[in-house]
Homo-oligomer: A and B are copies of this chain.
Amino acid sequence: MSTLLKNATLLPCTTGMPVIEGGYLLVENGRISAVGSGDPPAGAGAEVIDLGGDILMPGMVNPHCHIPMTLFRGLGEDVDDRLFRYVLPMERKFVSPEMVRVGTALGAWESIAGGVTTIADMYYHETEVGRVLDTAGLRAVVGQTIADFDPPDHTTIDEGFDLTEALAAEFSGHPRIHASIAPHAPYSTDIPVMARVAHWGADHPNVPVQIHLAEMSTEMAWAEKTHGCRPVEVVDRAGLLTPGLIAAHCLYLNDAEIARLAEAGVRVAHNARSNAKAGRGIAPVAALREAGIPVGIATDGPMSGNTLDLFSQFGPVSMFAKLRGQSRAPMPAVDVIAMATREGAEVLGLGGEIGTLEAGKAADLIRISTAAPRMQPIYDIYATLVFAAMPDDVQDVMVAGQWLMRDRQVRTLERAKVLRDAGQIAARFRAEMVEIDRAREVGQ
- Which residues from chain A sit less than 8 Å from chain B, CB to CB? 70-71, 73-80, 82, 106, 109-110, 113-114, 273, 276-282, 306-309, 312, 315-316, 318-320, 322-323, 325-330, 332-333, 373-374, 376-380, 383-384, 387-388, 390-392, 415, 418-419, 422-423, 425-426, 429-430, 433
Smallest beta-carbon distance A26→chain B, Å? 31
* Residues from chain B with Cβ under 8 Å of A384 in the complex: 74
Contact across chains for B273 and A423 when beta carbons are under 8 A apart: no
Smallest beta-carbon distance A297→chain B, Å? 14
Give CA–CA (A376, B71) in the complex, Å. Answer: 8
Q: Known contacts A79-B328, A110-B374, A376-B422; can you find 11 more A-B pairs with CB under 8 A?
A: A74-B387, A106-B376, A114-B374, A273-B315, A276-B323, A277-B318, A277-B387, A279-B328, A309-B374, A379-B433, A390-B392
Contact across chains for A113 and B373 when beta carbons are under 8 A apart: yes
Contact across chains for B327 and A380 when beta carbons are under 8 A apart: no
Q: Of the candidates B80, B273, B318, B332, which one forms a contact with A327 in the assembled complex, judged by CB atoms under 8 Å apart?
A: B80
Give CA–CA (A279, B333) in the complex, Å. Answer: 14
Contact across chains for A278 and B328 when beta carbons are under 8 A apart: yes
Contact across chains for A322 and B276 when beta carbons are under 8 A apart: yes
Give CA–CA (A71, B419) in the complex, Å. Answer: 40
Copies in the complex: 2
Smallest beta-carbon distance A392→chain B, Å? 4
Contact across chains for B327 and A374 when beta carbons are under 8 A apart: no
Q: Of the candidates B282, B312, B319, which one forms a contact with A277 in the assembled complex, judged by CB atoms under 8 Å apart?
A: B319
Smallest beta-carbon distance A247→chain B, Å? 21
* Residues from chain B with Cβ under 8 Å of A323 in the complex: 276, 279, 281-282
Contact across chains for A373 and B419 when beta carbons are under 8 A apart: yes
| Chain A interface main SS type | helix
Chain B residue nearest in CB terms to A281: B323
* Residues from chain B with Cβ under 8 Å of A75 in the complex: 379-380
Contact across chains for B319 and A419 when beta carbons are under 8 A apart: no
* Residues from chain B with Cβ under 8 Å of A387 in the complex: 74, 77, 277, 306-307
Can you report 25 A-B residue pairs in the complex whose CB atoms are below 8 A from each other? A73-B377, A73-B379, A74-B377, A77-B332, A77-B333, A77-B379, A77-B383, A78-B328, A78-B332, A79-B328, A106-B373, A273-B319, A277-B318, A277-B387, A279-B323, A279-B327, A282-B323, A307-B387, A307-B388, A315-B315, A316-B316, A316-B319, A376-B423, A379-B429, A390-B391
Give CA–CA (A55, B326) in the complex, Å. Answer: 39
Q: A307-B374, A378-B74 are in contact. Are A328 and B114 (CB under 8 A)?
A: no
Give CA–CA (A423, B376) in the complex, Å. Answer: 8
* Residues from chain B with Cβ under 8 Å of A377 in the complex: 70-71, 73-74, 422-423, 425-426, 429
* Residue from the set A71, A273, A325 with the largest chain B CB neighbour count within 10 Å: A273
Smallest beta-carbon distance A333→chain B, Å? 6
* Residues from chain B with Cβ under 8 Å of A80 in the complex: 327-329
* Residues from chain B with Cβ under 8 Å of A392 in the complex: 390, 392
* Residues from chain B with Cβ under 8 Å of A308 in the complex: 374
Smallest beta-carbon distance A415→chain B, Å? 7
Give CA–CA (A430, B378) in the complex, Å. Answer: 10
* Residues from chain B with Cβ under 8 Å of A330 in the complex: 279
Q: A276-B322, A333-B77 are in contact. Are A379 and B430 (CB under 8 A)?
A: yes
Contact across chains for B388 and A325 when beta carbons are under 8 A apart: no
Contact across chains for B277 and A322 when beta carbons are under 8 A apart: yes
Chain B residue nearest in CB terms to A81: B328
Chain B residue nearest in CB terms to A330: B279
Give CA–CA (A74, B388) in the complex, Å. Answer: 9
Give CA–CA (A326, B278) in the complex, Å. Answer: 8
Chain B residue nearest in CB terms to A112: B373
Smallest beta-carbon distance A433→chain B, Å? 7
Chain B residue nearest in CB terms to A320: B276
Q: A333-B77, A388-B307, A423-B377 are in contact. Are A326 and B279 (CB under 8 A)?
A: yes
